[in-house]
């Protein structure tokens, strides 16, 4: 369905982003960026912060792969402007889930597309509503270990889905890569095209 004459590279070690981008059925390579993420600046918006991280990842890899289109991404969870990164311990994961319980938060993914010395970036926001979580649910989920490698201490594509009441926006954005928006941006940049579609007769 999608056509391209470009070579593709994903600047991420996330198996979830690998799986999502793989849905496009375009050959691609994975190269992990060694960029130091650093913290959010005092006057920096959440949107600019997540796009800056994505841009840093993409450009760090693109520097040595000028012949490829490099895609970098970073996903954050934000509760009323407070960032909830990947928890370092089970105790911190449980603390995050208590904060999110019964409340609404934002999941934002910044995406950067680097090619031929240029970088185009954007972000996508999804609003996530959590159920009120009792302590038994929080402790049981944290004990699975699933929350430790995920921003906000939950994965919507795994058992963390039991915490989620509903979402407003792109599901894949919460997982880690807003695929629909990405394809729209790539088409606008003329990096991919839609192939011929033959009607059924």
Q: Is 74 a catalytic residue?
A: yes
User: From the CB of residue 58, how many other CB atoms can be counted at a distance below 10 Å?
Assistant: 31
DSSP 89: S
What is residue 1's predicted lDDT score, i.e. its pLDDT? Answer: 84
CA distances from 169 to 64, 106, 173 (A): 35, 10, 8
Chain segment 87-122, per-residue pLDDT in tens? 999 999 999 999 999 999 999 999 999 999 999 999
Average pLDDT, the chain: 93
Which pTM value belongs to this model?
0.91
Quickly tell me which residue has 């792109």 as its tokens.
170
**Extents of the domains making up the chain:** 2-194
Distance from C-alpha of 54 to C-alpha of 44, rounded to nearest angstrom: 15
What is residue 13's predicted lDDT score, i.e. its pLDDT? Answer: 87
Model confidence at 199, in pLDDT bands (50, 70, 90)? very low
Contact 2, 194 (CB under 8 A): yes
Answer with the residue of higher pLDDT: 71 or 40.
71
Question: Class of the 2-194 domain?
Answer: alpha beta
Given 5, 74, 134, 149, the catalytic residue: 74
Chain segment 138-153, per-residue pLDDT in tens? 999 999 999 998 999 9
**Span 29-33, mean pLDDT?**
90
């Amino acid at each position: 369905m999608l056509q391209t004459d470009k070579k593709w590279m994903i600047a991420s070690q996330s198996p979830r982003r690998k799986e999502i981008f793989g849905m496009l059925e375009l050959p691609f390579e994975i190269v992990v960026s060694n960029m130091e993420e650093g913290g959010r600046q005092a006057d920096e918006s959440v949107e600019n912060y997540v796009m800056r991280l994505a841009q840093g990842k993409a450009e760090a890899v693109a520097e040595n792969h000028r012949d490829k289109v490099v895609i970098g991404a970073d996903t954050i969870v934000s509760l009323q402007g407070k960032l909830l990164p990947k928890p370092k311990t089970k105790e911190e994961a449980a603390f995050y889930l208590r904060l999110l319980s019964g409340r609404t938060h934002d999941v934002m993914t910044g995406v950067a597309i680097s090619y031929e010395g240029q970088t185009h970036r954007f972000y996508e926001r999804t609003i996530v509503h959590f159920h009120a979580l009792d302590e038994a649910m929080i402790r049981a989920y944290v004990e699975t270990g699933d929350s430790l490698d995920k921003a906000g201490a939950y994965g919507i594509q795994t058992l963390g889905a039991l915490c989620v009441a509903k979402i407003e926006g792109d599901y894949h954005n919460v997982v880690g890569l807003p695929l629909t928006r990405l394809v729209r941006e790539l088409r606008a940049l003329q990096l991919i095209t839609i192939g011929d579609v033959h009607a059924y007769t």
